[in-house]
Structure 1
Amino acid sequence: MSKLFSFSRRAMLLAGLAAAVSLTACDKAGKPAAIGTTPAAKFNSVDITGAKYARKLALTDFDGKPRQLSDFKGKVVFVFFGFTQCPDVCPTTMAELAEVRKRLGADGERLQGVFVTVDPERDTAEVLKAYLQSMDASFVGLRGSLAETEAVASEFKVFYQKVPTKSGGYTMDHTAGAFVFDTDGQVRLFSRYGSKVDDLTADIKQLLASAKR
């Protein structure tokens, strides 16, 4: 994928962060630095417990229902920003999450996958629903207007940008990686793209186990 995003846009996204999120094209992983840690917890993903971003998410799902993070309270929530025409990172990430749900057995019902499109112009509700439910029927797809998408991406410190292609169309560069929330709705982890399914499964199990105590 191309990395033709502007320095000024990137600089604005990085401003104000004590530790920056790595912003990447679709085929590489972003990585935010840890902001606060829980001493007793050791995760394979990046621990961002206490982060002052990724606190609000309010968009419409592919059935036209308004959604927010509190709707999923009681579950570990995996939030990923991508687009349905992404050739590799996005389908791989969501397919791996579906595998994690299977490995969790009955506890898989307590893991919610949420996919936020950064390409709402092409990712209609119908397209988004068909794309996600082909991987796992429990996955929820969220979309908004261009302004709403920009606001949510800013809240999560996620980079994305439309990149023209030689064919006259476009693709999307975006931060690759996902945010994991605990059952109380607090952001806890940043899962890098390319992380092992075993490692992510272990992290989710730890968050679910903590909720049972």
Structure 2
Amino acid sequence: MKPSICRRALMVLFAFVAMASLAACQREPQPEWRLNDVTGHLPDLDFKLTDDNGKTVTGADYKGKVALMYFGYTHCPDVCPLTLTQLHVVLDRLGPAADNVRILFVSVDPARDTPAVMHAYVNAFDKRAVGLSGSDAAVEALAKRYRSAFTREPDRGDGNYEVSHSSAIYFFDAEGKARLLATPSASQDDIVHDLHLLTSLEARP
């Protein structure tokens, strides 16, 4: 992943989060989040993609679960495996509440990331992870919806190429509402803390 696109995407996200934080001061008191609160400032979880079992799914299929959405690809040499490993550790630390959490790993490289490839990849990290892929148009529309960014490098002629992509993690509550945004600098402690709060909100009547 090239640093330039990551920096540009993160600058946009940071600017957006800053505006969201100012607006949050006008609302009712919220839980004491440690991550970036984007409640009311990003759209609900909404997509139509193919999961790693080859089934067509939508955002509505994950209602009732807290969803952590991340854009990446299986040939990613560094940030994707590191992020998925971190999320696995986070969910283990979360304990039984992790049963109500799903990691949604959205491929920005659908040409290579078939459902079978995605299934083997995400399950190597965590059984609560779901690999999602779709057409170029569907993936691009979803990335644009959440102000994410990615660029595929030219094929070197042997089917090998890299995809530069931003690396934020989007948190959605059990109703599919966007609630939090974690940037690469977020610590495991902060993610665990906020997931405890988010799953507690989900458990309330």
TM range (shorter): 0.7 to 0.9
The alpha carbon displacement at 1:99 in A equals 1.0
List alignment gaps of at least 5 residues for structure 1: 6-20
- Corresponding letter in the other structure for 1:136: D
Alignment of 1:24-173 (within 5 A): 31=14, 32-34=16-18, 35=20, 36-37=23-24, 39-53=29-43, 55-164=45-154, 169-173=160-164
> Quick one: distance in 2 between partners of 1:30 and 1:176?
11
The 1:62–1:53 alpha-carbon spacing in structure 2 relative to 1, beyond 3 Å, is: same
Aligned residues: 195
> Quick one: distance in 1 between partners of 2:85 and 2:12?
16
List alignment gaps of at least 5 residues for structure 2: none
Q: Larger deviation: 178-187 or 39-48?
A: 39-48
CA contact (8 A) 1:46 1:189 kept: yes
The 1:118–1:73 alpha-carbon spacing in structure 2 relative to 1, beyond 3 Å, is: same
Question: Which SS does the other structure have where 1:185 is aligned?
Answer: coil
Corresponding residue for residue 192 of structure 1? 183
How much is the aligned-residue C-alpha RMSD, in angstroms?
2.5
The yes-or-no answer on 1:182 pairing with 2:173 is yes
Corresponding residue for residue 9 of structure 1? none
The alpha carbon displacement at 1:29 in A equals 11
The alpha carbon displacement at 1:122 in A equals 1.2
> Quick one: distance in 1 between partners of 2:154 and 2:145?
26
**What do the CA deviations read for 1:156-199 (whole angstroms, capped 9, x no partner)?**
21101012477873211111111000111100011111311111
CA contact (8 A) 1:62 1:126 kept: yes
The alpha carbon displacement at 1:150 in A equals 1.2
Percentage identity across paired residues of the two chains: 33
> Quick one: distance in 2 between partners of 1:133 and 1:212?
26
CA contact (8 A) 1:83 1:123 kept: yes
The alpha carbon displacement at 1:212 in A equals 2.6
- Corresponding letter in the other structure for 2:65: K
> Quick one: distance in 1 between partners of 2:45 and 2:34?
22
> Quick one: distance in 1 between partners of 2:127 and 2:201?
26
The alpha carbon displacement at 1:149 in A equals 1.2
The alpha carbon displacement at 1:105 in A equals 1.3
